[in-house]
Amino acid sequence: MLTGIDAIVFDLDGTLYQSESLGVQIAACADRYLADLLRVSPEEAGEIVRRVRRELTARFGREASLSDACRELGGDLRELHRRFAAEVAPEPHLRRDSRVVQFLRTLGASRELYLYTNNNRALSGRIMDAIGVTGLFRRVVTIEDNWRPKPDLQALDALFADIGRKPSECLFVGDRYDIDLRLPAELGCSVYLSRTVDELLGLTLPLSEGPQ
């Protein structure tokens, strides 16, 4: 799988760790923000978000993200992420997995590693600290780099330009095919769907060759 691959671009949430409880906390924060915006209760906002995501998924022909729903409802992504950074405490929901840390160190010895996430800089940094992967990536690209959430062609073009790689030289790793992988695959990147740590670690199996 890694023959001809020089750069590996990882998603963060749901890919390098899994935490249902942290996901619940993030969703609850989004519900509170949209409740204030729409002047409804957080419970009603949550129902509206789920309905809008279903409608957008049908319209787009792909999975709709929380960012998609927020924008559809007139929300401001900058304010949403300001709330996330201020109100979400990831540390109680996370732990360091030494297998993931060693996996990234091993890959980083022969490939360029990058992180590309729809999360914001502050919360991503706290999550990376908590799971022990801070400093293992050459570049961390967050929603704050361009405020264009995945999947977005302009954001991907900027990423390729920034890291100096062609799509054919890159492998994208993520847990949501429609959000993380479909567009990179259409552009000629290799992709790897990983929804558990065991699946993530499976990426090391073909690593018999040296740097390309």
Report, as an integer, the average pLDDT of 141-165: 97
Report, as an integer, the average pLDDT of 99-115: 96
Which pLDDT score is estimated for 179? 97
pLDDT, tens only, 78-97: 999 999 999 999 999 999 99
Residues in the chain: 212
Split at pLDDT 50, 70, 90, the class of 207 is very low
Long-range contacts: 136-139, Cβ < 8 Å, 24+?
136/101, 136/104, 136/105, 136/108, 137/10, 137/113, 138/112, 138/113, 138/114, 138/163, 139/114, 139/115, 139/163
Split at pLDDT 50, 70, 90, the class of 99 is very high
Question: According to DSSP H, which parts of the chain are helical?
Answer: 20-38, 42-60, 66-72, 77-87, 98-108, 121-131, 153-163, 182-186, 197-201
Structure tokens of 11?
């998603």
Report, as an integer, the average pLDDT of 173-191: 96
Q: Does residue 131 sit in helix, strand or coil?
A: helix
Q: Does residue 115 sit in helix, strand or coil?
A: strand
Report, as an integer, the average pLDDT of 125-144: 98
Report, as an integer, the average pLDDT of 103-121: 96
205: pLDDT strictly greater than 60:
no
Which pLDDT score is estimated for 3? 77
209: pLDDT strictly greater than 80:
no
Split at pLDDT 50, 70, 90, the class of 206 is very low
pLDDT, tens only, 11-44: 999 999 999 999 999 999 999 999 999 999 999 9
Which pLDDT score is estimated for 176? 97
- Give the percent of the chain with pLDDT over 90: 93
Tell me how far apart the alpha carbons of residues 102 and 206 are, in angstroms, rounded to a whole number.
Answer: 16
> Over the chain, what is the mean pLDDT?
94
Q: Identify the CA nearest to 60 among candidates 48, 50, 68.
A: 68
Which pLDDT score is estimated for 204? 66
Which pLDDT score is estimated for 174? 97
User: How many alpha carbons fall within 13 Å on the CB side of residue 121?
Assistant: 8
